[in-house]
Amino acid sequence: MFAVFEPIKRDLHLTDVQLGWLGSAYIIVLSLAALPLGALADLRSRRSVITWGVAIWSVGTALGGVVRRFWELFACRALVGVGEAGYGPASQAIIAQYYKGRRRASAIGIYSVGMALGGLLGIVLGGLVAERYGWRWAFLAMGPPGLLLAVLASRIRELDRRPPPPIVETLRQWWRRGVRGVIRYALPLATELGCRWNVSRPHRVSNQRAECRPVHGREF
């Protein structure tokens, strides 16, 4: 996000303080959510926490390209923090399962290098995309690849738990849960926001007398 600070500031008319909050939202949420999501991964399924973490990270990143206000972008950056708080601890736990003894530190070191290089690559590519197509496309372009990685993450096998179901069954479950979630949560929220937007729109009040229009041959 830091590569597109200036165009975001101009487009959304943000102050330096608001930019600071946008840059900090990810870290704040990550630091608050990492511990409970790590505990959830140990209690339930590390594979599921990683999968949903990558998916939430991707959706939050892509939604950043359609925002119109400061708080909307802040919420998207917070979602990115939730996503990384999910897959960060759980990923290292699975690495510790597969690599024992002296190999473990090297494996976690490779994982850490990949995280750092991925962040650096995202800044470079984001800056290039923003310069050519606009800062919104820098966010939108990062979403679909992340969702593909979420599908791949759903195939991770945990050594102490049963193997994942076939990928077709996994996608079918995601579809069912996603449709139920949209019907149960997103649709009422969208309806409520639409109603509030209609109510808050300024209405023009005319001082002139309303014209009488003939209805079925009569005037009122």
Express each pLDDT in 20-32 by its tens digit.
999 899 999 999 9
**pLDDT for residue 198:** 59
The residue among 69, 68, 63, 218 whose CA lies nearest residue 146 is 63
Asked whether the predicted pLDDT for residue 201 surpasses 60, the reply is no
On average, the pLDDT of the chain sits at 81
Share of the chain above pLDDT 90, in %: 42
Query: Taking the domain 2-161, which CATH number applies?
Result: 1.20.1250.20
From residue 78, how far is each of 14, 116, 199 by CA, in Å? 18, 20, 29
**pLDDT for residue 80:** 93
Residues ≥6 apart with Cβ < 8 Å to 55: 83, 146, 147, 150
Asked whether the predicted pLDDT for residue 218 surpasses 90, the reply is no
Asked whether the predicted pLDDT for residue 205 surpasses 60, the reply is no
**pLDDT for residue 188:** 63
146-183 pLDDT, tens digit per residue, is 889 998 888 888 877 666 666 666 666 656 666 565 55
The residue ranges of every structural domain in the chain are 2-161, 165-199
**pLDDT for residue 30:** 93
Kindly indicate the confidence band of residue 70, based on its pLDDT and cuts at 50, 70 and 90.
Answer: very high
> Exposure of 129 by Cβ count < 10 A (0-12 exposed, 13-18 middle, 19+ buried)?
buried
From residue 43, how far is each of 59, 152, 167 by CA, in Å? 25, 22, 23
The residue ranking higher by pLDDT, 117 or 208, is 117
**pLDDT for residue 177:** 64
Mean pLDDT of 79-98: 91
